[in-house]
């Protein structure tokens, strides 16, 4: 039934038109305006303004066109808003009600070609239908994306390191959602993983990539968050599991904030994730990925205090302590270190500073030449080898017991088989045969998981130690390996204690550390430092912990 509006004079009309899908075009707006204009002409109304929205969802009112209409309403620029249907104004019940109330407050009405004059009943019914439509549309979209994810296809945007690859399906139709590795970008990803695993910070990495004009994933510039992201949410290059051939979909869900209209992400429970193995898209090998995860764990805020999770600014950051009060030494006047307690509280008598570069040089010299007495190193290496061999012999003794039991049961099994062949009924030895068979499987599993440990004997371990320390020092002078070498060098130092001498004019440097941190390198078969730096160290304790005193030359 066609509705008309009775009026004394020509009504001033504002036409509102909107389309929401990228699959539609601006002709949809033209068509809506055309039919609204035709109805206005038929009714004798005067069209004074047109408000339009192009490819914008009607889910909320955070749209420039509708906001412009609502801003003009209090000024009395029009008497009537004409649109094709109420869902063009808003598909949200609350949004439609808000527009309706605001216009009614200004003595203005809404007229649609589908519903006629809009009243409270239309707001309730049409708003509910619009909300249901949006929900059903979202469900259908999610269902389609989930199907793509289960097939290993892309269910989201383009990922850095990959290109979109459309392929012809079995029926000859083009299948969308495929990916292929972008070799140039993949090399950048590998470079980022290797640099981070070797101790370079995300901030330093980002600066280097920007200086080299390497495009970021968003085609702009890289920042620390581009690389590090958020581990729990899987964001950032280091946390993207597609690089190890594992696609995760539905880790996050996005909802719009009703106050601002902006999307915010929420982490879904892990049992709702859709995980698909895509080994052909793997860029990073498992060993490198494990090293990165270990490095991320080093700076885990939940597990480490602040001074241990922050990357050190200098070689000895957080390791230098005051011998008088036990407090830390911090940078003072940009070039020198001094006791923080004496500087900030005045409760410590140790007021002597020391130049940072001089301290680092002396500590490196001590590690390289003066840290250990030759006889002490030899005794330590002997005791270390002796203890390690004892542990190996204990492990091998248990393994030998399994080997003997395996041989005994194998012979008994052969006898049972032979007795059955000789005519003994199989039912008689059945239970024993089942037990033997199960136990042999168990022993085979135990032996495969516990390989025999060879007894070690290194007569030149002391000399090798000196050699590997020298290699480590040389690595410190290599710019591309300095971060990695510094990280492992710090692992050998417990603390550096600075104490004024008797005269109170010079600082005595006490270097406290252990030998075991380097022994895993000294005992390696190939003797190559770089190959062993990433392995965890065996920590020494008790009498093997080394303490060396260095007297500083000259005043602080």
pLDDT in tens, 154-172: 666 778 888 877 666 666 6
Average pLDDT over residues 411-428: 78
Phi, psi at 546, each rounded to 5°: -95, 145
pLDDT tens sequence across 6-54 = 445 688 999 999 987 644 566 788 889 999 999 999 999 999 999 999 8
Which pLDDT score, from 0 to 100, does residue 533 have? 28
The domains of the chain are located at 12-135, 179-298, 376-449
Beta strands in 196-289 (DSSP E): 246-249, 252-256, 263-267, 274-277
pLDDT tens sequence across 164-196 = 776 666 666 666 667 888 888 889 999 999 888
User: In the chain, pLDDT over 90 holds for what percent of residues?
Assistant: 14
CB burial readout 171-202, b (16+ within 10 A) else e: eeeeeebbbebbeebbebbbebbebbbbbbbb
pLDDT band at 93 (very low <50, low <70, confident <90, very high): confident
pLDDT band at 551 (very low <50, low <70, confident <90, very high): very low
Report the CATH fold assignment for 12-135: Rossmann fold (3.40.50)
Total Cβ atoms within 10 A of residue 257: 11
pLDDT above 50: residue 535: no
Q: Is 116 left (phi over 0), alpha (psi -120 to 50) or beta?
A: left
Strands 252-256 and 174-175: unpaired
DSSP state of 235: B
pLDDT band at 72 (very low <50, low <70, confident <90, very high): very high
Q: Compute CA distances 331 → 323, 335, 336, 449, whole Å.
A: 17, 7, 6, 51
Contacts of 325 (CB under 8 A, 6+ apart): 339, 341, 342, 347, 348, 350
DSSP state of 434: H
Look up tokens 């050998």; give the residue: 492
Q: Please tell me the distance from the alpha carbon of residue 266 to that of residue 93, in angstroms, as a whole number.
A: 24
| 179-298 to CATH, choices 2.60.120.40, 3.40.1190.20, 3.30.70.120, 3.90.1750.20 | 3.90.1750.20
Which pLDDT score, from 0 to 100, does residue 52 have? 92
Helices 64-72 and 93-105: angle between axes, nearest 10 degrees: 20
Same fold, 12-135 and 179-298: no
Q: Where are the alpha helices (DSSP H) in 114-223?
A: 120-150, 183-197, 202-211
Which pLDDT score, from 0 to 100, does residue 522 have? 41
**Helix/strand/coil (H, E, C) string of 122-146?**
HHHHHHHHHHHHHHHHHHHHHHHHH
pLDDT tens sequence across 224-257 = 888 888 877 778 888 888 888 888 877 777 776 7
- Host H or E run for residue 50: strand 46-54
Q: Please tell me the distance from the alpha carbon of residue 359 to that of residue 338, in angstroms, as a whole number.
A: 12
Q: Please tell me the distance from the alpha carbon of residue 188 to that of residue 181, in angstroms, as a whole number.
A: 12
pTM of the model as a whole: 0.45
Q: Compute CA distances 263 → 58, 273, 377, 464, whole Å.
A: 15, 20, 63, 60
Contacts of 98 (CB under 8 A, 6+ apart): 61
Q: Please tell me the distance from the alpha carbon of residue 495 to that of residue 382, in angstroms, as a whole number.
A: 26
Closest CA to 451 of 403, 407, 405, 408: 403
Which pLDDT score, from 0 to 100, does residue 376 have? 60
pLDDT tens sequence across 469-513 = 566 666 666 666 666 667 667 777 778 889 998 888 888 888 776
């Amino acid at each position: 039934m066609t509705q008309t509006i009775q009026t004394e004079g020509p009504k001033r009309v504002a036409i509102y038109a909107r389309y929401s899908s990228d699959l539609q075009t601006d002709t949809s707006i033209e068509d809506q305006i055309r039919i609204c204009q035709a109805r206005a002409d038929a009714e004798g109304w005067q069209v004074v303004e047109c408000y339009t929205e192009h490819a914008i969802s009607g889910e909320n009112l955070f749209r420039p066109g509708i906001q412009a209409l609502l801003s003009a309403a209090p000024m009395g620029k029009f008497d009537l808003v004409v649109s094709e249907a109420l869902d063009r104004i808003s598909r949200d019940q609350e949004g439609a009600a808000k527009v309706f109330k605001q216009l009614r407050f200004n003595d203005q009405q809404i007229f649609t070609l589908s519903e006629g004059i809009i009243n409270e009943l239309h707001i309730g019914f049409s708003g509910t239908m619009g909300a249901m439509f949006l929900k059903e549309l979202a469900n259908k979209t999610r269902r389609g994306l989930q199907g793509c994810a289960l097939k290993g296809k892309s269910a989201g945007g383009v990922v850095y390191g990959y290109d979109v690859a459309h392929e012809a399906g079995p029926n000859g139709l083009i299948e969308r959602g495929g990916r292929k590795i972008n070799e140039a970008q993949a090399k950048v990803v590998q470079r980022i993983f290797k640099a981070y695993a070797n101790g370079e910070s995300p901030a330093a990495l980002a600066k280097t990539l920007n200086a080299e004009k390497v495009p970021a994933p968003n085609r702009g510039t890289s920042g620390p968050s581009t690389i590090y992201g958020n581990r729990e949410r899987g964001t950032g290059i280091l946390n993207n599991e597609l690089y190890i051939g594992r696609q995760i979909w539905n880790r996050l869900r996005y909802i719009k904030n009703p106050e601002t209209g902006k999307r915010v992400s929420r982490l879904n429970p892990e049992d709702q994730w859709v995980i698909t193995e895509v080994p052909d898209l793997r860029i990073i090998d498992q060993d490198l990925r494990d090293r990165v995860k270990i490095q991320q764990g080093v700076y885990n805020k939940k597990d480490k205090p602040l001074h241990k999770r922050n990357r050190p600014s200098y070689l000895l950051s957080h390791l230098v302590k005051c011998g008088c009060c036990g407090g830390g030494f911090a940078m003072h006047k940009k070039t020198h270190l001094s006791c923080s307690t004496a500087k900030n509280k005045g409760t410590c008598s140790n007021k002597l500073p020391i130049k940072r570069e001089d301290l680092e040089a002396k500590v490196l010299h001590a590690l390289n030449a003066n840290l250990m007495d030759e006889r002490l190193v030899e005794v330590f290496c002997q005791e270390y080898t002796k203890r390690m061999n004892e542990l190996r012999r204990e492990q091998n003794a248990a393994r030998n017991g399994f080997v003997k039991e395996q041989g005994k049961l194998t012979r008994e099994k052969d006898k049972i088989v032979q007795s059955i062949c000789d005519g003994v009924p199989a039912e008689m030895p059945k239970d024993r045969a089942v037990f033997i068979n199960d136990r042999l499987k168990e022993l085979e599993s135990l032996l495969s998981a516990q390989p025999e440990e060879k007894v070690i004997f290194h007569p030149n371990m002391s000399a090798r130690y000196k050699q590997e320390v020298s290699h480590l020092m040389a690595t410190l002078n290599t710019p591309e390996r300095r971060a990695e070498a510094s990280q492992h060098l710090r692992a050998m130092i417990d603390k550096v204690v600075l104490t004024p001498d008797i005269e109170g004019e010079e600082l005595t440097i006490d270097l406290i550390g252990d030998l075991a941190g380097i022994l895993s390198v000294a005992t390696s078969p190939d003797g190559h430092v770089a190959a062993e730096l990433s392995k965890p160290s065996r920590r020494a304790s008790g009498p093997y912990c080394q303490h060396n005193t260095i007297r500083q030359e000259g005043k602080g």
